[in-house]
Amino acid sequence: MKSKFARFLLASVLAVSLTALAQAGSADSGLPSAPSAAGSPPPTTTEPAGNGGEKIGTINIEQAIFASNEGQRDFEALGKKLAPKQTELKDLNDKVESLKKQLNTQGDKLSEEARGALVKEIEQKQKSLERSVQDARDDAQSQQNEIAQRILQKMAPVIVKYAGDNRFGVIIDTSNQWPQGPVLWAAPSVDITKVIVEAYNLQSGVPAPVRPAAAATKPAATATKPVTPASTKPPATAPPK
């Protein structure tokens, strides 16, 4: 789903949110206690989040955002919003490929003037397509980041609350696999992603999306990507001098 910039953005937002909330503590946050992984109520504690926890946990922030009901709803909506642009880009790409095919199959039969005009048209349309694809990609990434940042800012207090109630001293983001990420290996038992998603869904009140069971669990991973042309290189054949 994410570029390096998007991952950096999420990590930055999470760090700022968790630091501020941990300093404030969870005693007066007004948030309900998150359920434990086993489904039973977490142990009662008066210790504020971030102070003296003894356990280490992991969470896949990207997965938590996408898996939340709010994330699924909003990324699916974004995918539908961007669908017309994807269709437009595909049509443009098809036209360019059709012109290239025409040049390859009929180029030697055309006059020098006609052949040169065709090559020039291909190059112009190719450049226009590349600009459109990049603009669409940037726009999609920007809107994805806005959704992710908004959800993460609301999810951060849930993470802090759960960490404090369950005496976690450290929660590590595993969105990036090692060696890009900090974790070489972690047991599934220390992962709190599912618990946080369930707690966030309960707090947000957003119902689970209704769709066929075969639908992807991370719809935005493909739904919001702009169509990339099969080839972005200009035609190899240059107009004759």
**The pLDDT of residue 71:** 97
Q: Residue 213: is its pLDDT beyond 80?
A: no
Lowest pLDDT segment from 88-97, 107-116, 132-141, 157-166: 107-116
Q: Residue 58 phi/psi, 5° resolution?
A: -125, 155
Q: Residue ranges of the domains in the chain?
A: 4-206
**The pLDDT of residue 212:** 72
Task: Summarize the confidence of residues 58-67 as an average pLDDT.
Answer: 97
Tell me which residue of 57, 80, 220, 97 sits closest to 148, measured CA to CA. 220
Give helix 4-24 / helix 112-165 axis angle, nearest 10°. Answer: 20
| Share of the chain residues as helix, strand and coil, in percent rounded to the nearest 5 | 60, 5, 35
Phi-psi region of 50 (alpha: psi -120 to 50; beta: other; left: phi over 0): left
Record the tokens describing residue 207, joined without a space: 């119902």
Does the pTM surpass 0.95? The reply is no
Task: Summarize the confidence of residues 175-188 as an average pLDDT.
Answer: 93
- pLDDT tier, 72 (very low <50, low <70, confident <90, very high otherwise): very high
**The pLDDT of residue 53:** 67
Cα distance between residue 153 and residue 70, in whole Å: 13
Q: Residue 34: is its pLDDT beyond 80?
A: no
**The pLDDT of residue 225:** 41
186 against 35, higher pLDDT? 186
CB 203 within 8 A of CB 32: yes
Q: Residue 191 phi/psi, 5° resolution?
A: -85, 125
pLDDT tens-digit map of 74-129 = 999 999 999 999 999 999 999 999 999 999 998 888 899 999 999 999 999 999 99
pLDDT tens-digit map of 9-32 = 444 444 444 444 444 444 344 333
Please name the amino acid found at residue 6. Answer: A
Q: Residue 233: is its pLDDT beyond 70?
A: no
In a 13 Å sphere around the CA of 215, the CA atoms on its Cβ side amount to: 13
